[in-house]
């Protein structure tokens, strides 16, 4: 557990009494991390998977209720097949391990994304990890896998359009809450803080609807190098912001 202090003292000091409920992370920079070391990109993904283990465990320890991570986007299929296979294989390893360690971790595992295009083996692992972890309610990890914000919204629009066409819904009564309820994130509060390492300043199709009022934290650190200390910096920065949600 971290050292608890009541109020922030230095720039990077975290106020442990007012943490965000939901942190989302775009786990980016694995390829560049590997390149810097003269390693294949897949070595960067393996290192990134380690960082995810550390950060997910730590978020639960400090009391973050929801952690959403971008693991594979709907656009990442454009990558070379060997790289895609390596990422999927690392995900499979992680889920196998998570299934074995479930009782120790006590983290509910959820998926955002279209799992139907994954291999049957990986899809089965996702389902098993999700079902077996449903009983834990203190901390939830949402793994965005074959996820795209536009794809998610498109699916929600289709579902509502189908209901209207079937005469079950009146288009004029559709609310923002109805749309939220059709997203992968239904029932999950919007992210308070979205972290993007690796120096890129863009969303890359991540949580487009849910991020309307999220606070962003960008850092040049590459994801495999992301540490608890870097998370502290992100939290301290978040805590200095004034969230107005359009008010005064």
Give the CA count within 13 Å in the CB-facing half-sphere of 88.
20
Q: Which is nearer to ligand IPE, 223 or 238 (CB)?
A: 223
Q: Minimum Å distance from CB 97 to ligand IPE?
A: 19
Residue placing its CB nearer to ligand IPE in the complex, 14 or 68? 68
139 and 67 in contact (C-beta within 8 Å)? yes
Q: With binding defined as CB under 6 A, does residue 52 bind ligand IPE?
A: no
Instruction: List the end-to-end C-alpha distance of the chain, in Å, as a whole number.
Output: 36
Q: How far is the CB of 170 from Mg ion (least distance, A)?
A: 43
Position among 19, 56, 87, 107 found at the interface with ligand IPE (CB under 6 A): 87
Decide which of ligand IPE, Mg ion, none touches 27; Cβ closer than 5 to 8 Å per partner kind: ligand IPE
Question: Residue from 42, 51, 68, 73 that binds ligand IPE (CB under 6 A)?
Answer: 73
31 binds ligand IPE (CB under 6 A): yes
Determine whether 192 is an active site residue.
no
Q: What are phi and psi of 68, to 5 degrees?
A: -115, 125
Taking the C-alpha atoms of residue 117 and residue 136, their distance in angstroms, rounded to an integer, is: 27
Active-site residue 172, yes or no? no
Footprint of ligand IPE on 168-227 (CB under 6 A): 198, 200, 202, 204
Task: Confirm or reject binding of residue 82 to ligand IPE (CB under 6 A).
Answer: no
For residues 50 and 75, which CB has a smaller minimum distance to Mg ion in the complex? 75
Quick one: 19 or 184, whose CB is closer to ligand IPE?
184
The reply to whether 26 sits near ligand IPE by the rule CB under 6 A is yes
Beta strand spans in 74-139 (E)? 108-112
Residue 106 near residue 76 (C-beta atoms within 8 A): no
Query: With b meaning 16 or more CB within 10 Å and e meaning fewer, what string describes 181-190?
Result: ebbbbeebeb
Q: Which residues lie near Mg ion (CB under 5 A)?
A: 28
Instruction: Find the shortest distance in angstroms from Cβ 167 to ligand IPE.
Output: 39
The Cα 11–Cα 237 span in angstroms is 8
Catalytic residue (choose from 15, 76, 178, 225): 76
Q: How far is residue 12 from each of residues 20, 36, 69, 243, measured CA to CA in Å?
A: 16, 27, 23, 19
Nearest to 19 by CA among 68, 66, 70: 66
Catalytic residues: 28, 76
Binding residues (CB under 6 A) for ligand IPE: these are: 26-32, 70-73, 76, 87, 198, 200, 202, 204
């Amino acid at each position: 557990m971290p050292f608890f202090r009541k109020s922030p003292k230095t720039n990077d000091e975290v106020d442990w009494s007012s943490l965000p409920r939901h942190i989302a992370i775009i786990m980016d920079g694995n390829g560049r991390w590997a390149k810097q070391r003269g390693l294949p990109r897949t070595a960067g993904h393996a290192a990134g998977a380690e960082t995810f283990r550390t950060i997910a465990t730590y978020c639960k320890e400090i009391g973050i209720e929801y952690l959403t991570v971008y693991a594979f986007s709907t656009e990442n299929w454009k990558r070379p097949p060997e790289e895609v296979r390596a990422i999927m294989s690392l995900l499979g390893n992680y889920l196998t391990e998570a299934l074995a360690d479930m009782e120790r971790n006590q983290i509910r595992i959820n998926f955002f994304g279209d799992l139907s295009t994954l291999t049957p083996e990986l899809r089965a692992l996702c389902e098993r990890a999700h079902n077996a972890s449903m009983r834990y309610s203190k901390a939830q990890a949402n793994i965005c896998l074959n996820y795209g914000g536009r794809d998610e919204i498109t699916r929600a629009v289709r579902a509502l359009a189908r209901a209207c066409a079937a005469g079950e819904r009146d288009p004029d009564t559709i609310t923002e809450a109805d749309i939220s309820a059709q997203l992968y994130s239904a029932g999950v509060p919007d992210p308070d803080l979205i972290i993007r390492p690796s120096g890129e300043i863009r969303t890359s199709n991540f949580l487009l609807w849910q991020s309307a009022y999220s606070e962003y934290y960008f850092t040049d650190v590459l994801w495999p190098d992301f540490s608890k200390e870097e998370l502290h910096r992100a939290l301290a920065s978040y805590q200095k912001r004034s969230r107005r949600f359009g008010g005064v």
